[in-house]
A and B are shown apart, each in its own frame.
Chain A
Amino acid sequence: MIEVRGLSKRYGALAALVDVSLQVAAGEMLVVLGPSGAGKSTLLRCINRLVEPSGGDVRIAGEAVPGTRAGLRRLRSQVGMIFQDHNLVPRLSVLKNVLSGRLSRMPEWMSLLQLFRGEDVRIALDCLKRVELEDRAWSRADRLSGGQQQRVGIARALAQQPRAILADEPVASLDPKTARVVLGDLKRASRELGIAVLCNLHQVGYAMEFADRIIGVHAGRIVYEGGPDALDAQALARIYPGLEGMSQAETETEGISPPVSELMS
Chain B
Amino acid sequence: MKGPGLTFILGRPWHTAQWLQWLAILAAAGGALAWSAQDLQLSMNELIKGLPWMADLVSRMFPPNWGFMQRLMRPIFETVQLAVWGTLFAIVLALPLCFLAARNLTPNPLVFHAIRQVFNAARGINEIIFALIFVAAVGLGPFAGVLALSVHGAGMLGKFFAEAIEEADPGPVEALRATGARPLQVIVFAVLPQALPAWIAAVLYRLEVNLRAATILGMVGAGGIGFELYSSLKLFQYEDTATCVIVILVMVMTADYVSSRLRARILTR
Give, as a whole number of angstroms, the nearest-CB distance from A102 to chain B.
Answer: 8
B185 touches A89 (CB 8 A): no
Given known pairs A108-B184, A112-B185, the reply for A89 and B179 (CB within 8 Å) is no
Cα-based distance from A85 to B189 in the complex (angstroms): 18
Give, as a whole number of angstroms, the nearest-CB distance from A160 to chain B.
Answer: 6
Q: Which residues of B contact A90 (CB under 8 A)?
A: 169, 172, 193-194
**Interfacial residues of chain B within 185-216, with CB under 8 A of chain A in the complex:** 185, 188-190, 193-194, 196-197
Cα-based distance from A90 to B226 in the complex (angstroms): 45
B189 touches A108 (CB 8 A): no
Asked if A236 is at the interface (CB within 8 A of a chain B CB), the reply is no
Asked if B96 is at the interface (CB within 8 A of a chain A CB), the reply is no
Q: Interface readout for A78-116 with B: 1 if CB under 8 Å, 0 if not?
A: 111101010111111000100011011000100110000
Contact residue among A50, A87, A111 (Cβ-Cβ distance under 8 Å from B172): A87
Asked if B71 is at the interface (CB within 8 A of a chain A CB), the reply is no
Contact residue among A73, A77, A87, A91 (Cβ-Cβ distance under 8 Å from B175): A87
Given known pairs A83-B175, A104-B179, A160-B179, the reply for A111 and B193 (CB within 8 Å) is no
Asked if B4 is at the interface (CB within 8 A of a chain A CB), the reply is no
Contact residue among B171, B177, B184, B197 (Cβ-Cβ distance under 8 Å from A112): B184
B180 touches A73 (CB 8 A): yes
Size bracket of the A interface: 20 to 34
Q: Interface readout for A39-78 with B: 1 if CB under 8 Å, 0 if not?
A: 0000000001010000000000000000000001111111
Asked if B174 is at the interface (CB within 8 A of a chain A CB), the reply is yes
Give, as a whole number of angstroms, the nearest-CB distance from A73 to chain B.
Answer: 4
Q: Which residues of B contact A87 (CB under 8 A)?
A: 169, 171-172, 174-175
Size bracket of the B interface: 20 to 34
Give, as a whole number of angstroms, the nearest-CB distance from B201 to chain A.
Answer: 14
**Interfacial residues of chain B within 43-94, with CB under 8 A of chain A in the complex:** none
A111 touches B178 (CB 8 A): no
Asked if B181 is at the interface (CB within 8 A of a chain A CB), the reply is yes
A77 touches B180 (CB 8 A): yes
Asked if A156 is at the interface (CB within 8 A of a chain B CB), the reply is yes
B180 touches A74 (CB 8 A): yes
Asked if B176 is at the interface (CB within 8 A of a chain A CB), the reply is yes
Give, as a whole number of angstroms, the nearest-CB distance from A96 to chain B.
Answer: 8
Which residue of chain B lies nearest to A75 when distances are taken between CB atoms in the complex? B180
Q: Which residues of A contact B185 (CB under 8 A)?
A: 103, 108, 111-112
B175 touches A81 (CB 8 A): yes
Which residue of chain B lies nearest to A89 when distances are taken between CB atoms in the complex? B172
Cα-based distance from A88 to B190 in the complex (angstroms): 9
Which residue of chain A lies nearest to B191 when distances are taken between CB atoms in the complex? A89
A92 touches B180 (CB 8 A): no
Asked if B261 is at the interface (CB within 8 A of a chain A CB), the reply is no
Which residue of chain A lies nearest to B177 when distances are taken between CB atoms in the complex? A50
Given known pairs A91-B193, A104-B181, A156-B179, the reply for A111 and B174 (CB within 8 Å) is no
Instruction: List the 3 closest A-B pairs by CB distance, nearest first.
Output: A77-B180, A104-B180, A76-B180
Q: Which residues of A contact B (CB under 8 A)?
A: 48, 50, 72-81, 83, 85, 87-92, 96, 100-101, 103-104, 108, 111-112, 153, 156, 160
A-B contact pairs, 21 of them (CB 8 A): A50-B177, A72-B180, A75-B180, A76-B177, A76-B178, A76-B179, A77-B179, A77-B180, A81-B178, A87-B169, A89-B190, A90-B193, A91-B197, A101-B179, A103-B181, A103-B185, A108-B184, A108-B185, A111-B189, A112-B184, A156-B175
